[in-house]
Amino acid sequence: MLENLSIKNFVIVDHLELNFENGFSALTGETGAGKSILIDALSLSLGQRGDSGVVRHNTDKSDISATFNISKNAFAQQWLKENELEDDEGSLFLRRVIYKDGKSKAFINGIPATINQLKSVGELLIDIYSQNSHHSLLKHSTQREILDNFAGLDEEVVEIKKLYENWNKLHIENENFEKNKESYAQEIKDLEDKIKEFKELEFSLSGWQEIQANHKMLSNSSELIDGIQNCISILDSSDASLSNQINQVQVSLSNLSNLDDRLTNQSKIIDTIALESSELIRELNHYLQNLEINEDLKKEVEFKIQATFNFCRKYRIKPEDLENLSDEWQSRYELLAKLLDEKGISEALNEARKKYENVALKLSKKRSEFALKLNKIITEKLKHLSFTHGRFEVNLNSIKPSINGNEQVEFLISTYLNAELKPIQKVASGGELSRISLAIRVASITKANVPVMIFDEVDVGIGGGVAEVVGKLLKDLAVDSRQQIFAITHLPQVAAQSLNHFKVSKDQINSETVSQINLLDEDGRVKELARMLGGVEITKTTIEHAKELLS
């Protein structure tokens, strides 16, 4: 969940520090007060592109940070672990700083990060549904994603894409091979030579690092021997050596501590120094005994290094890339070997096609199964939103095998009794699409993995009793799915259903316009709902109406 949002010098915000709770929270305020500031600032902390225009007038930078509790978000925890950015406290701290020259910095748990990293982890934390999301809902790709998310088909979707890409790659390679047999024959010969030469190097990245370390040591062995002998001489070779001087201090302090107990600790320190000094001398002598000028070993190491550099120079690559590239060469060689063996490529193509078809068939069955469930849930939600005789249906149209499976997902709807089911974009008006979108989102995201959802004025075009239903849907969604729900709304019926109510206001301070966001108490909620109900002039009637809404 989102626990805290800190906004400094952002557009018309001086400094805001907001703490949030679980459940359904509403944000309201007059037009132009800055209700979108929360989403805009939060979006920047989640990796959205920003520019210097967001930096408040007469300041150097905007600073936005968001704190999340991810103790129950396994996906975010895994992402942080994979990127070595985890926090032992089960929390996640995102920060974005944007300077007035347009440059920006990003941080994850206090560690510098890229904007892409912010965006990547942000997708595991928050989903934002805006008025524009109505339009994205008209796309078949969005409709497919909604069904797949509802059905929990994340793994199957990833797998079908990989299998299709592998099958398609083999198919393209086979076609190219038929056109370029001679060049392919030459390529496999070149690969054979390259792989043979590489094997003769007996190269490994860890071995390469060890050889370089040995070469450095062997090349400087004379200097190392002279240096170590000099160190030993200073420590332990005469009456004036450091070791003897330490021993003298040790004896003196031991005698003095007998005269004054306060010197006991100092006496213990010199005892430790004497012990460490003896250990150092022993270790240096041991190192010296094992350090030999081995010319044969030096020549062997230099030969291996030179052979590696010659190989890398020949093929214009770096030693650090050799291991990964050798795997690519082997894979390419095996593919070309199959292509040269017509039976081999035929078998490989058939095997790739069968693997794809098996997974695609399972995917189709699961999509069909969950499409029926989604039909029922969304149709029921539509009835709550004044589509008394409305019907919703997920249509799965068979298509040629593709990267997304064997069907195209299409949302169909009828909005009145006995009406023919048609694609959403051909049926719904602007106001209807708003309600339909809300029904689809609320019905389908109950199985979403993302724990925080923000609805940005998705209730545009809705009013009256339907508005109250919308508020209850959002409230129930927060309870049923145990997710944190935010709604930026202009409808008092929606705001009244919230557990937490924030008011956005705009004031003039020191001749500057400043936006504020405050959590309302009971009395504040009544006044804000009355304003939303009655406009500029608040009457006793609107106050009573507001109290009634809250009750």
Cβ–Cβ under 8 Å, residues 375 and 143: no
Tracing tokens 């100092």 back to the chain, one arrives at 266
Residue among 82, 88, 158, 93 nearest 125 (CA): 93
Measured CA to CA, the distance from residue 277 to residue 225 in angstroms comes to: 20
Answer whether residue 382 is part of any domain: no
Cα dihedral value 358, 362, 368, 371, nearest 10: -130
Query: Kind of pairing, strands 422-423 and 405-414?
Result: antiparallel
DSSP bridge pairs for 29:
504
Q: Look at residue 50 and tell me if it is in a domain.
A: yes
**What is the residue type of 422?**
K
Distances (CA, A) of 297 to 214, 215, 225: 9, 9, 17
Residues 349 and 174 sit within 8 Å (Cβ to Cβ): yes
Cα 78 to Cα 83, 85, 121, 158, 452: the distances in Å are: 9, 10, 10, 17, 18
What confidence score (pLDDT) does residue 401 get? Answer: 94
Using the predicted structure, report yes or no on whether residue 536 has a pLDDT greater than 70.
Answer: no
Segment 118-127 shows an average pLDDT of: 87
List all residues 6 or more positions away from 254 whose beta carbon is below 8 Å from its beta carbon: 267
Within a domain: residue 24?
yes
The pLDDT score that the predictor gives to residue 158 is 92
Bigger pLDDT: 136 or 277? 277
Residue 389 inside a domain? The answer is no
Dihedral sign (CA 65, 67, 68, 70): positive
* Burial class of residue 525 in the structure, from the number of CB atoms within 10 Å of its CB (0-12 exposed, 13-18 middle, 19+ buried): buried
State the number of CA atoms in the 13 A half-sphere of 508 facing the CB.
1
Which of 196-200, 213-217, 292-296, 482-486 has the highest mean predicted lDDT (pLDDT)?
196-200
Q: How distant is the alpha carbon of residue 304 from its chain centre?
A: 42
Rounded distance, CA 322 to CA 317, Å? 7
- The predicted model gives 465-469 an average pLDDT of 82
Q: Are 484 and 503 in contact (CB under 8 A)?
A: no
Q: What's the mean per-residue pLDDT of the chain?
A: 85
Quote the domain boundaries for residue 109.
1-125+451-520
DSSP state for residue 447 in the 8-state scheme: G
Q: What is the pLDDT of residue 522?
A: 92
Structure tokens at 292: 């030999």
Q: Is the pLDDT of residue 222 over 80?
A: no
* Confidence (pTM): 0.61
**Distance in angstroms (rounded) separating the CA atoms of residues 272 and 262:** 17
Strands 500-509 and 484-488: unpaired
By DSSP bridging, strand 452-456 and strand 422-423 are: unpaired
Helix (H) or strand (E) segment spanning residue 314: helix 295-315
Look at residue 108 in the predicted model and tell me its pLDDT: 92
Is 498:26 a contact under the CB 8 Å cutoff? yes
- pLDDT confidence of residue 448: 58
DSSP string, 2-58: EEEEEEEEETTEEEEEEE--SSEEEEEE-TTS-THHHHHHHHHHTT----GGGBPTT
Residue 294: count of CB within 10 angstroms of its CB: 13
Residue 73 belongs to a domain:
yes
| Residue matched to tokens 């019926």 | 493
Q: Show the 3-state SS of 232-276.
A: HHHHHCCCCCHHHHHHHHHHHHHHHHHHCHHHHHHHHHHHHHHHH
Neighbours of 60 (CB within 10 A): 12
- Checking if the pLDDT of 154 tops 70, the result is yes
Q: Is residue 155 within 8 Å of 366, Cβ to Cβ? A: no
Q: What is the mean pLDDT of residues 484-504?
A: 90
Say how far apart CA 358 and CA 405 lie, in whole Å: 11
Mean pLDDT across the stretch 537-545?
85
Give the mean pLDDT of 165-183: 80
Q: Give the Cα separation of 153 and 365 in Å (integer).
A: 11
Examine residue 512 and state whether it is found in any structural domain, yes or no.
yes
pLDDT beyond 70 at 523: yes
Longest CA–CA span in the chain (Å) reads: 111
Do the domain assignments include residue 104?
yes
pLDDT-based confidence at residue 164 (cuts at 50, 70, 90):
very high
**Model pLDDT for residues 398-441, shown as the tens digit of each residue:** 999 999 999 999 999 988 888 889 888 787 666 677 778 778 87
Q: What is the pLDDT of residue 342?
A: 65
Residues 228-275 have pLDDT tens digits of: 888 888 888 777 788 888 888 888 888 888 888 888 899 899 889 989
User: Closest Cα to residue 117, out of 89, 87, 155, 76?
Assistant: 76
pLDDT tops 70 at residue 355:
yes
> 39 lies in a domain?
yes
**Which of the residue ranges 52-61, 148-157, 169-178, 485-494 would you say has the lowest mean pLDDT?**
169-178
pLDDT attached to residue 398: 94
Whether residue 201 is predicted with pLDDT greater than 90 in this model: the reply is: no
Report yes or no: 322 and 312 within 8 Å, Cβ to Cβ: yes
Coil, strand or helix at 455: strand
What is the tally of structural domains in the chain?
1
On the question of pLDDT at 447 being above 70, the answer is: no
pLDDT digits (tens, 9 = 90+) for 133-142: 566 778 888 8
Q: What is the dihedral of CA 532, 536, 541, 545, to 10 degrees?
A: 10
Amino acid of residue 145: E
Domain of 90, CATH number, reads 3.40.50.300
Q: How far apart are the first and last CA of the chain?
A: 27
pLDDT at 367 (0 to 100): 96
Region 487-505 average pLDDT: 90
List of residues 6+ apart from 181 with CB closer than 8 A? none
pLDDT higher at 510 or 57:
57
